[in-house]
Amino acid sequence: MTMAITDGMNPAERAVKRSFDFTVSFIGLILLSPIFLILYLLLKKQGGGPVIFRQERIGYQGRPFYILKFRTMKVGSEEDGSPKLAQESENDLTPLGRFLREHHLDELPQLWNVLRGDMSFVGPRPERRYFIDKIMAENSDYEYIFMMRPGCTSMATIYNGYTYNMEKMLIRLQMDLEYLQKRSLLLDMKILFTTFEYMIFGKKF
């Protein structure tokens, strides 16, 4: 590592953040259950594999967990064993999957990840070990990311978008490290507000 990085949140703030995540994800799962049911039925009718897609990611303190999403890609899209970036997988999207991904509805099951404590609403997007190893070969400061729970959204998600090459991965890393040092409950609220604003008005991120 090339620099010393400290967490901008103190233990009390982190406890409040976790309480917020738990409460809002619990309420969200209940209120959005009709939407979950509709999407489940549409995806089931579409056929072609399980409705929920599970993929191992590396999270808090470097522990692996399974992130949950509604399936957007055709079954077997990575059957050759080579992980694909979002940009590379565009041709493998189903018609319904493309709609879900464009409106970020495919990520609704991550409310369960937040409830469990695998993730937070705000934090660095969790990555696969395959890509983490590639990033760390360029910048070992990625290890600081493990000080935080991965998130559903972040400054990097909003302003850097999908990472489809190493340059964007390293930009995302720098933005996530900056967030770690400056993060606060107020900053989290601003990031959440901006994310919802982008979703409501159909802005790409």
Which alpha helices (DSSP H) does 103-184 contain, by range?
110-116, 129-138, 155-160, 166-182
Q: List beta partners, residue 56.
A: 66
| Angle made by CA atoms 153, 73, 80, in degrees to the nearest 5 | 110
What residues does each domain of the chain span? Answer: 17-200
**10-residue block means of pLDDT along the chain (205 residues)?**
81 98 98 95 84 95 97 66 54 82 89 98 96 96 97 92 85 96 97 88 69
Residue 77 has a pLDDT of 57
Q: pTM for the full model?
A: 0.88
